[in-house]
Chains A and B, each alone.
Chain A
Amino acid sequence: MAMRIEARDIRVAFGDVEILHGLDFTAGAGEITAIIGPNGSGKTTLMKALIGENPYSGHVTINGVDIATLQPWQFATKRAVLPQATNLSFPFTVREIVRLGLTTGISGDADGRLEDLPDLALEQVDLSGFAGRFYGELSGGEQQRVQLARVLCQVWEPVFDGEPRWLFLDEPVSSLDIQHQLLIMRLARKYAENGGGVIAVMHDLNLTAMFADNVHIISHGNIAASGTPKKVLSTKILSDVFGCNLQVSAKPPKGVVFVLPQSTIAP
């Protein structure tokens, strides 16, 4: 069984407008696969096809199984999804939200300690002590991390039943400060290192360069380039795709102040 996400000839159209023009996509377990591209290029549309949220034509398989043949609960045991934003209809506490990720028969067994997972997951996203707060009272970045804790509860073990499980993250760090951006990306890295797969729609090209194993650049509904960050994050490709002059450099250019995540230059 192929332990990866594979999509072949994916087309998505809204009405008469075709958004994705028959693209192919592969992501391997044990890796972070980043999807980048300009606004409106079809990144999120592609992700929504991969998670079965949007109608599409073509084929998507997860661990060798066509997702169209999976019941919702079966699919839910294999992948969890962090959406860009979540609108809540009722006043839940943080713990209640995180617990919604836990479902007997879906979440796995966590050595019979399912009930401990919400606390553990909150600790992972640096929200210990927030369990009793009301979700609506948190900042956008905190809410995003609460949702990530919920997602982690759903697929806590990166490998379950001999199969890798998958995290789909739609702009997971967009509303986070730099400390928590790094925290979340390291969490994703850890998940991949432990055998799971991570597919993330990203806007931050520097974080993508730091953390992704593979990058798919989407442009006008097609894959413009695929490969390792080193290969595809080039001055030429990025300048073409994003329509502006970018400079990709291994060294800071002279005379311009910019901030690097400190950990990368730590001893």
Chain B
Amino acid sequence: MNVGIKNASGQLVKTPKRKTLDGDRGAIARLTILILVVALLIAMFASLTTGSSDASAVNVIQHWLGLSGDAEISMRDRIIIYDIRLPRLLLGSLVGASLAVSGAIMQGLFRNPLADPGLIGVSAGAGLGAVSIIVLGGTALAPITALLGIYTLPLSAFFGALASTMLLYKIATRNGQTSIATMLLAGIALGALAGSLTGIFVYMADDAQLRDLTFWGLGSLAGSSWEKLLAAGPIIIVALIATPFLSRGLNGLALGEATANHLGIPVQRFKNIAIVTVAAATGASVAVSGGIGFVGIVLPHMLRLVIGPDHRYLLPASALLGAIMLLFADAVSRTIVAPAELPIGIITAVAGAPFFLWILLRKRGMLDI
């Protein structure tokens, strides 16, 4: 047998012949990411120029260039574009990216294409944190609100998400090993618990708070402002920056925890970092936009069909596609019942739930855990 293993004197015994790149989806993945970058830029520009008002970004640009004489109209456009549409589009992009990436990370972590922060109670925990601040922020928790200012809501949602995840972790982990089945089931139970506690706060809420809560719970980007962007943006951006460093660990985990460890990944520490990242991204997103569902399940799944499950590509592609799709859904939400607005969570749910069921039907075997 002619082997290509290096012999004792350090020579490769046989020269390899590289015939094809069969099975390497890296090129397709890089092309896909490039296309998504371009698509995101287009989506951002479209989102800036369209809406129920006729304000046009083109007008503003013309104004900058001194091509437009009508300063008054431009001023109105500037307010709509700078103070309403721009923060909304930035927030929408960040939230979309964060939701899709959180889903992809959770799925890799739990080795299950159906895992999602919404499914294992992370979003519910974040929601509980947010709702408790909305209801009690003016009274019992007023000192906290005073201390944290605009960061109160995203931080309380983050801590809600982190607390529920860590509790879940304690329940599902024995001797440093996390049982996926226990974690998923305990997640459902904790999600229900967080939901009922949220219900108590809703019960305590006054009429104005109730209206806030309802709209927030449906998931919406309607209240986007620079203030919200400043509050949630940095947390989401830090989480997004952390994600590329998770890809090798997630790839290793695809072969199982033991094999990931054999490949040199410090599995338990890695899982802790991944969970904090997801809690931060989910918490901040839930705080500013409420429950926007299904983005985290549907988009990574679609991408895996095209570029494969390699997380080095899947994570950035999910972030980009998440941003694009949320801008698209937001455009629909702003225009479909214009001049009123349909909460974006309704749109993602209507589009995502049937897709989720379709995955479920195709992957019935995967649920035998």
Contact = CB atoms under 8 A, between A and B. Distances in A.
Nearest to A71: B266
Contacts of B193: none
A75 B264 contact: yes
B7 to A, nearest CB: 6
Contacts of A169: none
A76 B262 contact: yes
Interface string A75-119: 111011101001111111111110011010010001101001001
A123 B23 contact: no
Interface in B240-274: 248, 251-256, 258-259, 261-267
Interface in B286-341: 304, 308-310
B20 A131 contact: yes
A94 B19 contact: no
A188 to B, nearest CB: 11
Contacts of B304: 90-91
Contacts of A156: 5-6
A221 interface: no
A258 interface: no
Contact of B8 (A81, A95, A123, A195): A195
Q: Is the interface of B mostly helix, strand, loop or mixed?
A: loop
B25 A96 contact: yes
Given A89-B111, A133-B23, A76 B255 contact: no
Interface string B1-38: 10111111000100011111011110000000000000
Contacts of A71: 266
Interface residues on B, range: 35 or more
Contact of A83 (B19, B24, B259, B264): B259
Interface string B164-188: 0000000000010000000000000
A116 B8 contact: no
Nearest to A133: B23
A253 interface: no
Contacts, number: 128
Given A88-B254, A156-B5, A194-B6, A131 B23 contact: yes
Contacts of A163: none
Given A80-B262, A111-B12, A132-B23, A91 B308 contact: yes
Contacts of A159: 8
Nearest to A79: B262
A195 B327 CA distance: 58
A120 interface: yes
B112 interface: yes
B4 to A, nearest CB: 5
A116 B254 contact: no
A101 B175 contact: no
A56 interface: no
A231 B240 CA distance: 60
Given A111-B12, A154-B263, A194-B8, 7 more contacts: A72-B267, A89-B111, A90-B304, A91-B308, A106-B264, A119-B16, A124-B4
Interface of B: 1, 3-8, 12, 16-20, 22-25, 108, 111-113, 175, 248, 251-256, 258-259, 261-267, 304, 308-310
